[in-house]
Structure 1
Amino acid sequence: MKTTSASPARFVTGSTMAHVAVMTAAGSVGLVAVFVVDLLNLFYISLLGEEELAAAIGYAGTVMFFVTSVSIGVMIAVSALISRAIGAGRREEVGRISTSGFVYMTLACVITAGAMMPVLTPLLSLLGATGRTLEIARDFLMVVLPSTPLLGIGMAASGTLRGLGDARRSMLVTLIGGLVTAALDPVLILVLDWRVEGAAVVSVISRVAMAAYGLYAVLRIHGYASPLRWRDFRHDVGPLSGIAVPAILTNLATPVGNAYVTYALATHGDAAVAAFAVVGRLIPVAFGPLFALTGAIGPVIGQNVGAGRYDRVRRAILDSLVLILAYVIGIWALMALGRHAVAGAFGLSAEGEDLVVFYCLWVAGSFIFLGMLFVANAAFNNLGAPLRSTLFNWSRATLGVIPFVMVGGHYWGAQGVLAGQALGSVAFGVLALVSALALVRRLAAGASRPEPAEAPLAGPELPPFSRGEGAAALEP
């Protein structure tokens, strides 16, 4: 079996701030690359001069969010089990867990995508899509959805590599997909004039590249693969499900909340939905390092939980909070200063541009509180508290979205919808972080302790905006 220097429990010694920062920096490269490509994708489509195309991508992205939630839930399970096994010194388990994780991921993706495809039209109609916009969104999804297992395999590989502490190769899984997309998007969308269908085909090719490199990195470079045995898979189904099921339930909260926001914006016309699609690609580019940060802390916490170092778990959480505050404040200032240039770059109507300007100036700062929630979820992910994560995320996606969006949309239109979604995240972000720190204190005092690698764990939050591909790199 080949191993790398990333294999030992590297996060149980040294500076937690340094570990989080290094993992974040490596993860940011691949993650931001994918989100930049998503933004360029939408820019290419905007050059075609039809606002319905951008709106269709927005509706399709909301549907893809549901499918990606399942894949990320399984990725979380694989990463958490591997990181805790490494931290506890049980490296011999990694190959078995990795193989079981790939099989589990493939089955979950096939079932999920297969269930979604027959009901695409009613789903898109429920979100508010009509006429030609609905047809374009459906055609896009009919091409992309069958490739979901490929995306899942890439995500499972990325989760395995992250759990091992191999930040660079985990980054490369996503970066390779982004580079493929960047190279092919303008050719298929503009040169060959395949339009939205071209974007869909490129997404599939990108997923093939991600899966291929991810398998190569895990199986050939690290050598962590065991022959597939039914008894091994049966042994791992319980621990994987114990983490993945609550993680999936937790992650589904975000697309449910976003679906309601999309529905609320649809009443204000395609211009509002198209603007939301632009925001959906702009925000991950701006805050990609934030999402990478919340993904980086997972294995740092996991290895220290496996080693029983709860003092380092608390320190890692607080270090992440410091980085979140500094980063969000800086990026928010830049977005506010450049708001008009950004809004005018995508061929939106005046109404759509005003909505993007409003978001950059007033709403983007809410990521401070979303970052708190993401970090809390990563802590719950490795501290055996699935119900807390599910409770906070569903509360934020329902109580923190529906009433605020309803009131905001009624009195202040589309701007009120976005403002309402942001305001609802404040209380739940703060409460989740306080709860996570309290849980660490209780575990450190010996009041309770999760069983190594077997206890049900909670999952992280999906980023609030994504078409789907970018989420492959995330484990907040």
Structure 2
Amino acid sequence: MNARTNPAAARFVTGSTMRHVIVMAGTGAIGLMAVFAVDLANLFYVSMLGDTSVAAAVGFAGTVNFFHVAISIGMTIGVSATVARLLGAGERAKARQVATASLAFIVLVTVVLTAITLLLLEHILDALGATGETRELTRLFLTITAPTLPLLAIGMCTAALMRSIGDARRAMTVTLSAAIVTAILDPILIFGFHLGLTGAAISNVIARIVLTLVGLYGVSRVNHLIARFQPQRTWDDVKPVLKIALPAVLTNLATPVAAAYVTHAMARFGPAAIAGQATIDRITPVAFALIYALTGAVGPIVAQNLGAGRADRIRETIRNSLGFVLATVALAWIVLALSQHGLIRAFSARGVTAEIISVFCSWLVASYAFVGCLFVANATFNNLDRPLLSTLFNWGRTTLGTVPFVAVGIKHGPIGVLIGQAAGSAIFGLMAMVVAWIVVKRLPMGDCARLAARHAEEPAAISVSVPGAAAGNTVAPEVQ
């Protein structure tokens, strides 16, 4: 953020920081909830089939897709940051060229990754622990949906490009369109045409096609961010994008790695345990959309006050963000605890699946207070020129905060696995917040000016956290 920013444009350097946090998180949560609702609707209708193997297959497929989404999100961070900087500098023609080249590059990367995934699918399913009927169903679901992963990446990138130009409303319609299509087609294909899991997969494919078409229309026809593709200039155009995207991808991959390890651990207890994990993985993003949107809310506020040399308002923003996290988690905890029996009935959960949902809604949901701390800390690190700390805490939680805790918990069954994961997340979330507060506490006005000057030279990857498996997180482009 440039220290010379027009005060009229830098609206976060005045007024209540708590109000800024609430408004930014609230508007960001709407778009995120639309994304999460697609997965939730899919699992809801699939669960109505009454077969835990089918729900477990959706859970395994989600873990595989998570790696692709993490990589795609990392790429979109680089694209949106680079394009936004060029637009801010008045270089619209260059911004259009970079946007076009980046879209082409993302398609190339995701097509290659999808081909590798399909070629190695049997080995991947072995590593995750999928067996028997669940394995066959997972293979079926991924065989149908995986070829459209490049379309998902295009949709995500176009939404990020529209945010970079300030068209947040139209960016939101990209994800909303996919959610609406899924909500309409799922019951028709799954039950009306009696296609079961195949119907859910076909619904996913159609939703991704719509996502891509709406996104491309928005960036090309409405915002005119697509230029004539020039293959010979592609590498030169994407190099500045990769400077931001590659570190973001590295950070993002931490969460799917942890998710895969937890899924492998849960697989020891059968399809019912995987179905339970898949259910809470899809309930919590909707319940905690405000928490996941928080990094996108905190980032711009910290960045603008950094540019204005207002270290006091940066500290105030962090304090208010923590209060917001605690209040949001407390409210969600009450709602989930009171509605757990209704959720169990809605998802046709029985036995171990029902027990996992009940324990999570009653107690483990509290761990999201610490997940929220990690999100706030990551936003602070990214915008105060300490992105390495964000990467270290993400990978630290993935390794030291997951493997030993889950290894101990697995001795006590699937509930023990989730308790172990929650305990590791709590420890690293608290550690990250303590370190972030120390960084902010030691931030004098002179430091603000120095960092602001550096941010003027090179854009930071401002990000918003989105969920992974059971209290996991990754990073998505800023919701503006």
TM-score by length of 1: 0.88
User: 1:176-208: CA deviations, max 9, x gaps?
Assistant: 110111111111111111111111111111111
Decide whether aligned partners of structure 1 residues 19 and 347 sit closer, same or farther in structure 2, where only a CA change above 3 A counts.
same
The answer to whether structure 1 residue 200 and structure 2 residue 187 are counterparts is no
- 2:450 aligned partner: 446
Decide whether aligned partners of structure 1 residues 199 and 96 sit closer, same or farther in structure 2, where only a CA change above 3 A counts.
same
1:465 alignment partner AA: A
- 2:135 aligned partner: 134
- 1:28 aligned partner: 29
Decide whether aligned partners of structure 1 residues 234 and 391 sit closer, same or farther in structure 2, where only a CA change above 3 A counts.
same
2:167 alignment partner AA: D
Task: Check whether the contact 1:295–1:475 (CA below 8 A) recurs between aligned residues.
Answer: yes
Equivalent-residue separation in structure 1 for 2:189 and 2:266 (angstroms): 30
Residue identity over aligned pairs, in percent, reads: 45
- 1:368 aligned partner: 369
**Which stretch of structure 1 is more off in the superposition, 62-71 or 93-102?**
93-102
Decide whether aligned partners of structure 1 residues 134 and 328 sit closer, same or farther in structure 2, where only a CA change above 3 A counts.
same
- 1:425 aligned partner: 425
Decide whether aligned partners of structure 1 residues 137 and 475 sit closer, same or farther in structure 2, where only a CA change above 3 A counts.
farther
Unaligned regions of 5+ residues in structure 1, if any?
1-7
Q: CA deviation at 1:61?
A: 0.6
The answer to whether structure 1 residue 108 and structure 2 residue 106 are counterparts is no
- 2:250 aligned partner: 249
- 2:3 aligned partner: none
Decide whether aligned partners of structure 1 residues 312 and 233 sit closer, same or farther in structure 2, where only a CA change above 3 A counts.
farther
Q: CA deviation at 1:472?
A: 9.9
Task: Check whether the contact 2:306–2:452 (CA below 8 A) recurs between aligned residues.
Answer: no
2:109 alignment partner AA: A
- 2:5 aligned partner: none
Task: Check whether the contact 1:383–1:450 (CA below 8 A) recurs between aligned residues.
Answer: no
**Which stretch of structure 1 is more off in the superposition, 170-179 or 95-104?**
95-104
1:118-133 equivalent positions in 2, closer than 5 A:
118-133=119-134
User: 1:124-158: CA deviations, max 9, x gaps?
Assistant: 12111101111110111111111111111111122
1:71 alignment partner AA: S
**Which stretch of structure 1 is more off in the superposition, 216-225 or 85-94?**
85-94
Equivalent-residue separation in structure 1 for 2:448 and 2:255 (angstroms): 31
1:248 alignment partner AA: V
1:342 alignment partner AA: L
Decide whether aligned partners of structure 1 residues 166 and 451 sit closer, same or farther in structure 2, where only a CA change above 3 A counts.
same
Q: CA deviation at 1:281?
A: 1.1
- 2:55 aligned partner: 54
1:58-457 equivalent positions in 2, closer than 5 A:
58-85=59-86, 94-230=95-231, 233-300=234-301, 316-410=317-411, 412-439=412-439, 441=443, 443-444=447-448, 446=450, 450-452=454-456, 454=458, 457=461
Q: CA deviation at 1:78?
A: 2.0
Decide whether aligned partners of structure 1 residues 460 and 397 sit closer, same or farther in structure 2, where only a CA change above 3 A counts.
farther
Count of equivalent residues: 466
Equivalent-residue separation in structure 2 for 1:422 and 1:147 (angstroms): 33
Q: CA deviation at 1:450?
A: 3.4
TM-score by length of 2: 0.87
CA root-mean-square deviation: 3.1
Decide whether aligned partners of structure 1 residues 184 and 123 sit closer, same or farther in structure 2, where only a CA change above 3 A counts.
same
Equivalent-residue separation in structure 1 for 2:123 and 2:465 (angstroms): 26
1:123 alignment partner AA: I
Equivalent-residue separation in structure 2 for 1:149 and 1:185 (angstroms): 21
- 1:465 aligned partner: 469
Decide whether aligned partners of structure 1 residues 161 and 323 sit closer, same or farther in structure 2, where only a CA change above 3 A counts.
farther
User: 1:391-431: CA deviations, max 9, x gaps?
Assistant: 11110011111111111121x21111111111111232233
Decide whether aligned partners of structure 1 residues 447 and 196 sit closer, same or farther in structure 2, where only a CA change above 3 A counts.
closer
Equivalent-residue separation in structure 1 for 2:388 and 2:195 (angstroms): 45
Say which SS state the counterpart of residue 120 (structure 2) adopts: helix
Decide whether aligned partners of structure 1 residues 318 and 79 sit closer, same or farther in structure 2, where only a CA change above 3 A counts.
farther
Task: Check whether the contact 1:380–1:457 (CA below 8 A) recurs between aligned residues.
Answer: no
Task: Check whether the contact 2:306–2:451 (CA below 8 A) recurs between aligned residues.
Answer: no
Q: CA deviation at 1:19?
A: 4.3
Decide whether aligned partners of structure 1 residues 106 and 18 sit closer, same or farther in structure 2, where only a CA change above 3 A counts.
farther
Decide whether aligned partners of structure 1 residues 317 and 77 sit closer, same or farther in structure 2, where only a CA change above 3 A counts.
farther
Say which SS state the counterpart of residue 349 (structure 2) adopts: coil
- 1:5 aligned partner: none
Q: CA deviation at 1:222?
A: 2.4
Say which SS state the counterpart of residue 446 (structure 1) adopts: helix
Equivalent-residue separation in structure 1 for 2:88 and 2:305 (angstroms): 6
Task: Check whether the contact 1:98–1:224 (CA below 8 A) recurs between aligned residues.
Answer: yes
**Which stretch of structure 1 is more off in the superposition, 276-285 or 106-115?**
106-115
Unaligned regions of 5+ residues in structure 2, if any?
1-7
- 1:4 aligned partner: none
Decide whether aligned partners of structure 1 residues 318 and 109 sit closer, same or farther in structure 2, where only a CA change above 3 A counts.
farther
Equivalent-residue separation in structure 2 for 1:299 and 1:112 (angstroms): 32
Equivalent-residue separation in structure 2 for 1:14 and 1:448 (angstroms): 17
Equivalent-residue separation in structure 2 for 1:119 and 1:25 (angstroms): 40
Decide whether aligned partners of structure 1 residues 436 and 10 sit closer, same or farther in structure 2, where only a CA change above 3 A counts.
same
**Which stretch of structure 1 is more off in the superposition, 118-127 or 231-240?**
231-240
Decide whether aligned partners of structure 1 residues 104 and 18 sit closer, same or farther in structure 2, where only a CA change above 3 A counts.
farther
Decide whether aligned partners of structure 1 residues 340 and 132 sit closer, same or farther in structure 2, where only a CA change above 3 A counts.
same
Equivalent-residue separation in structure 1 for 2:453 and 2:263 (angstroms): 41
